Copies of this chain bind each other. A is one copy, B any other.
Amino acid sequence: MKVAILGAGQLAQLLTHSAYQLGVETVCIAENDFDAILQQVKDCDVITLENENVDVALLEQLQAHKPVYPGSNTIAVAQERFLEKSLFKALDIPTPPFAKIDSLADLEAALSTIGVPAVLKTRRFGYDGKGQTVIKKLSEAKSAWELTGKNPAILEGFIDFDFEVSLIAARSVSGELIFYPLIKNTHRDGILRVSESPFEDVHLQQLAESYVQRLFEELNYVGVLGFEFFVKGDSLIANEIAPRVHNSGHLTIEGFNASQFENHLRAVLNLPLVKPILQAQTTMHNIIGAFPKLMPADYINCHVYDYGKESRPNRKVGHITQFKPF
């Protein structure tokens, strides 16, 4: 079996690492050109992706030749914040109040309804807090609109949440479903810093699973999906979905009998999924910017992943997972 991965970053790396344990080959494709991709996927069983910011028309072309999981319908939604939030709303999944913004007039009108503070986000190509501006006063509307480059945007009411969690879930070609326990996440400057597993709360777990299940069915989703939520009291408010393996799920490698990477490969290849069984309490720390020089003491009950990337401010260059087996 062979899986083509569109993209060649750390998620493709980690999928490839996991693929070795399934006797599965991968090809990680950095090109964006249809003919170049088609050439490389020739002997592959299926195409998947590590990044939702791919050209939907290109995916549709590829789908005519090979199965692409998750499909272009999902990617189209996940890469456009207004479509994404509108889908949540249609599925009765709570979201912050939001409005579509295509002009300064739209923004001013929306601010008068949603109020401040609010967050103006570009509708496309946002990740790690990029393309986001917090508006604290109504008078900041014009400067915020200019800061986002007057690009198609969405205004979202600012949620004064207690903390953030993510649900990692998978659905296979044949419709089999698995869910990991919720993961508690800490962001700083819009970038995920720390994830902790398991976050145990029966009520929130059931709620999150029901939301993801609704989404899976609506999209006929195949693969792993990461769903980020704000927690406020005993409710979950949808932040965003990642239609792929998710940064917060890296700790599933050490924490469970099967990682998100293994279950993603199983899902897209229509192999039986592995129901996650907790094996260790885990904390993952992203390494941002530059890889530190580590000492032996740093390796106690730790795995250290170095993505081999050049240092760059705010770049995810690796992660460290501490684990405490039960």
- Whether A126 sits at the interface, judged by CB under 8 Å, is no
- Whether A219 sits at the interface, judged by CB under 8 Å, is no
Q: How far is the CA of A269 from the CA of B299 in the complex (A)?
A: 11
Most buried by B among A23, A303, A304: A23
> Of B257, B266, B272, B296, which contacts A325 at CB under 8 A?
B257
Contact A266/B299 with A17-B20, A20-B17, A280-B257 known, Cβ cut-off 8 Å = yes
- Whether A46 sits at the interface, judged by CB under 8 Å, is no
Q: How far is the CA of A21 from the CA of B300 in the complex (A)?
A: 13
Mask, A19-53, CB within 8 Å of B = 1, is 01111000000000000000000000000000000
In this complex, what residue of B is CB-closest to A1? B294
Contact A23/B304 with A271-B296, A272-B299, A296-B271 known, Cβ cut-off 8 Å = yes
State the oligomeric state as a number of copies. Answer: 2
Contact A325/B279 with A21-B305, A274-B301, A299-B271 known, Cβ cut-off 8 Å = yes
Q: Are B299 and A22 in contact (CB under 8 A)?
A: yes
Which B residues touch A266, using CB under 8 A? 299
Mask, A290-302, CB within 8 Å of B = 1, is 0100101101110
- Whether A306 sits at the interface, judged by CB under 8 Å, is yes
Q: Which residues of A contact B (CB under 8 A)?
A: 17, 20-23, 253, 257, 266, 270-272, 274, 277, 279-280, 291, 294, 296-297, 299-301, 303-306, 318, 323, 325
Please name 13 further chain A to chain B contacts, defined as beta carbons within 8 Å, in addition to the given A17-B17, A21-B304, A272-B297, sorted by A numbering: A17-B20, A20-B305, A21-B253, A21-B305, A22-B299, A23-B294, A23-B306, A23-B318, A270-B296, A271-B296, A271-B299, A272-B296, A279-B279
